[in-house]
Structure 1
Amino acid sequence: MLKVSKALLLAPALLATGAIADSGQTLDIRQHEAPAVCGSHAPQIQVDVAGVRAGGILTVELYAPSVHDFLRKASRLHRIRVPATDGTQTVCFDINAAGTYALAAYNDLNGDRDLARKWNRLPAEPFALSNNKPLGFGMPRFKDAAFEAGDGSTLIQIELQE
């Protein structure tokens, strides 16, 4: 009788969701973190993330307006994770309505599903906010990253910062 490992049986599904990187590295990307199909829904936010380095996971998070909870789970509407490849990557979020939103993106180089930080709490991995506002000392504010999404497709371009 032929024995087949569970990983081998799941390989086609993992490849379809992008959970196995080109390097053969297995990444922890869950089905609910997959991006929407771009152009399949309106309203939608299309995010072009430039400056991505291959390896690990590209994480893009969509936030609702919040004065005190920006970049915290309480105001996060959705998180997308995809295998990171060199250059610019595009992901899309389906949204329920036009409105004010903000985005955060980071290149999780080691694929541990967490943003590594330096001693001063600034990101140690490539990171960016919508509107490409440079990070200063202290927590970014929602208003610095806020943008208006319309009833159709809204394009946001982000450049990861080292």
Structure 2
Amino acid sequence: MAALVLLVPFLTAAPPAFAAPEDGPRVTACAAADAPQGPRLQVTVTGARRVAGNATITLYGPRPEHFLASRAYLARQRIPLRATSAEACFALAAPGTYAIAVYHDENDDHDFNRTLIGMPAEGYGFSNDAPTVTGLPAFADVRFTVPPGESRMTIRLRY
């Protein structure tokens, strides 16, 4: 139980839909008019316990110190749940190393909610389906390489 309490800081801020650090590559939704011409990353989130709210998918770049840091992400998409799974597409400026954190914002309040004792009240997951047995996963466990062209990543929500 103490291990999951470490998820308390996970995605607590509600920054704008897309925010990029000055030193990070440009990333947008694939459907954006100004989407970069680089690789496309299709992300599927599965395992929502109910059809409500949205799946909030946050993409981070190659710097371990930016992973889960407030406003240090490259892009974020909030996909309304119409089924127990959701999909998002990210247009990337270049191939490279990335990481993803996702949560099921069941009440659509743009906050990762927790119980009174600090346990996650909403589903969450990470790229590579990295385990969270002893707290937040290490960046080495969530990072993955996006090659040129199209890539896919599936993340299963945990509750």
1:72 maps to 2:69: yes
Q: Which has the higher helix share?
A: 1
State how 1:112-127 maps to structure 2 within 5 Å. 112-118=109-115, 121-127=118-124
In the alignment, structure 2 segments of 5+ residues that lack a partner are 1-15, 20-27
In the TM superposition, residue 137 of structure 1 has moved relative to its aligned partner by 3.2
Query: Does the C-alpha gap of structure 1 residues 143 and 104 become closer, same or farther in structure 2, counting only changes over 3 Å?
Result: same
**Aligned partner of 2:150 among 139, 150, 153:** 153
CA distance in 1: counterparts of 2:131 and 2:69, whole angstroms = 19
Superimposed CA distance per residue, residues 58-115 of structure 1 (whole angstroms, 9 cap, x where no aligned partner): 1000001222331113430000012122222211001110000001111101111011
Provide the residue aligned with 1:63 in structure 2: 60
Give the direction of change, closer, same or farther, for the CA distance of 1:122–1:151 in structure 2 (3 Å limit): farther
Match of 2:97 among 87, 97, 100: 100
Query: How many residue pairs align between the two structures?
Result: 133
Alignment of structure 1 residues 24-63 onto 2, 5 Å: 35-37=29-31, 42-52=38-48, 53-63=50-60
Hey, what's the Cα distance between the residues in 2 that align with 1:110 and 1:58? Answer: 11
1:32–1:131 CA distance, 2 compared to 1 (3 A):
closer
Pick which of 108-117 and 82-91 moved more.
82-91
Please give the secondary structure, in 2, of the residue aligned with 1:73.
coil
Offset of residue 120 of structure 1: 5.9
User: Which runs of 5 or more structure 1 residues have no equivalent in the other structure?
Assistant: 1-29
- Alpha carbons 2:99, 2:127 under 8 Å: kept: yes
Q: Using structure 1 for the length normalisation, give the TM-score.
A: 0.71
Partner Cα separation in structure 1 for residue 99 and residue 17 of structure 2: 23
Quick check: 2:114–2:122 contact (8 Å CA) kept in 1? yes
Identical amino acids, percent of aligned pairs: 34
Residue 151 of structure 1 and its aligned partner are, at CA, apart by: 0.8
